[in-house]
Amino acid sequence: MKAGVIAVQGDVSEHADAVRRAAASHGVDVAVVEIRDAGVVPECDVLLMPGGESTTISRLLREEGIDEEIRDHVAGDKPLLATCAGLIVASRDAKDDRVATLDVLDVSVDRNAFGRQADSFEAPLSVTGLDEPFPAVFIRAPVIDEVGEGVEVLAEWDGDPVAVKQGSVIATSFHPELTPDSRIHDLAFFGQEHAAIPTDDDAEADSGS
């Protein structure tokens, strides 16, 4: 499996480590590539868009022509995990002219909404699909203030959605890559529906049985 981490800016190596851990737990070999130029995304099975600064990330994606490639990746139903600034960039609307959103996730966000209350905090979070709470690290996190019809809310904090799923896209306000716990990466890339690896059902379908 080839995993691409958008690496124009933000916390790249932590995501690379998390996807390696998630893949290892399934016995899957993963090659992780850092993406700074156009032409690499089309080779990737799964993509990660890290936290950082959404104005900078969105500008560089557009300048390099990577923005269109990410849209095509999602249109092709391939998994994308977007975290914090990545969520802002993936959204439909960030209510900020400096962020050219990709509109691959039908949510609107309020940048730095949590940041006004507390710069950063960690909280145990119940997430749909995970048996035990996830240690969620919030750093100047965006609040999701509107979700479209096709969007499933996987987790809420203080009444606001902080983890969502739409088709092959999972996005979080928090930073799942900053803890040793790689269950969110696991959910994004090896979850049932959009598995990056063939399931037993696929194997049966391929063999015509």
Q: Could you list the active site residues? A: 84, 175, 177
54 annotated to a ligand binding site = yes
139 annotated to a ligand binding site = yes
Question: At 100, which amino acid appears?
Answer: A
- Spatial separation of the C-alpha atoms in residues 65 and 76, rounded to whole Å: 18
- Spatial separation of the C-alpha atoms in residues 49 and 132, rounded to whole Å: 25
Residue number with CB closer to ligand GLN (142 or 167):
142
Give the tokens for residue 34: 């850092």
Part in contact with ligand GLN (CB under 6 A); list of ranges 19-27, 51-59, 60-68, 74-82: 51-59
- Interface pattern 77-116 for ligand GLN (x via CB under 6 A): -------xx--x----------------------xx----
From the list 105, 122, 127, the residue with the least C-alpha distance to 183 is 127
Task: Please pick, from the candidates 139, 164, 170, 187, the single residue that binds ligand GLN as defined by CB under 6 A.
Answer: 139
Part in contact with ligand GLN (CB under 6 A); list of ranges 50-58, 66-74, 127-135, 186-194: 50-58
SS (H, E, C) 41-104: HHHCCEEEECCCCHHHHHHHHHHHCHHHHHHHHHHCCCCEEEECHHHHHHEEECCCCCCCCCCC
126 forms part of the interface with ligand GLN (CB under 6 A): no
- Taking the complex as a whole, the smallest distance from the CB of residue 30 to ligand GLN amounts, in Å, to 24
Using CB under 6 A, list all residues that contact ligand GLN: 51-54, 84-85, 88, 111-112, 139-140
